[in-house]
Structure 1
Amino acid sequence: MFTGIIESVGEIAHLAKEGENLQIEIKSPLAQELKIDQSVSHNGVCLTVVGLKDSVYVVTAIKETLDKTNLKTLEKGSLVNLERAMKLGDRLDGHIVQGHVDGTAICKKVEDENGSWVFTFEYKNSGFSTVEKGSITVNGVSLTVVNSKKGEFSVAIIPYTFENTNFKEIKAGSEVNLEFDIIGKYVKNLMKPYL
């Protein structure tokens, strides 16, 4: 389980296909604190550490993960948002994030608000939805929805988040990972028989 509060931004050091899987090497200051079999969120995707060497660690993304996320678009030098799994008893500064991406969205526009930015994303209607002032995870970042429509939402990004995540690289046309709020998903599922 994660909180959506990004600890570090890693850089893709190497990518290698292994059958249908993708082995990903990430250069990060976190590498020296990790151990084999630990869970780390990469742009919101929970992956297991399978190798370590100095300032680089290795994870494997299987075909299903590549099909459902933006990890298939990674290149050497790409930046990824990183968060280690939450420790029991820690503060939940973001919201409950599972690291299970529901799908992707495309950035429609980025508006400079003279001190912050508003990013608008469009996603295929997959049975999930956002609510204004509700939580959404974009590339692993816990955010508050500021505008919600069917298949579209906006989020406001403060300078700290812009500089300390890969939001600084997102522009119109960029693909991002989405994880919708787990509480909203449970409520929707529980209400199905009554709708």
Structure 2
Amino acid sequence: MAIQNDGDQEWKTRMLLTKDGNVGIGTDNPEAKLDVSGQIKGGGVLAGIWAAQPLTDTSLTSTEGWEDVLETSVTFTLDRTAMIFCTYSINVQPDGNPVSDLLATRLVVDDQGYRQSGSHFQPLTSGDSNVNLNGNLVLPLQTGSHTVKLQWKKYGNNVASWNSHPSWIDGFGGGRTLVVMAFYLPIIGV
């Protein structure tokens, strides 16, 4: 069985069902149960994956509010509605004894901070500290350009700075990563 048309003055097979049950779309010689020549769009399909994994050292010294973590953001464009999954990890060290100080992190999508992505670190003992802060966010986004950023905020003045040093221990002591994955939503219910 075949579906053909003559849009350009000659008949061409556009879809074919062979006697062994293979279906071809855009091909007249399907080699599998479904063989498609061209792009497929559908629900639950990975729309894209973007990441920031900077190797630059950075520090936070101000207690003035939320600040972008250096080079830890991604900008991407969606050609239709999608569900995004964001995850981050940042290794931090305080420069000094934290006493009661703490460091908080969060994700910001299109200039909007999301509490459910937050994490924080407050040492309970003095001495050297090293910790990995992690967070996640799942969010639907509309068609268009979007930016996801990792931000951090310093609370207290006992610590001169909080540091993210990917160069520590020959570059293997701890870095930071931001990953954003987008999945197209199914047509039903969107």
Superposition TM-score, scaled by structure 1 size: 0.24
Which structure is higher in strand share?
2
The answer to which structure, 1 or 2, has the higher relative contact order (CA under 8 A, 6+ apart) is 2
Which structure is higher in helix share?
1
Larger C-alpha radius of gyration, 1 or 2? 2
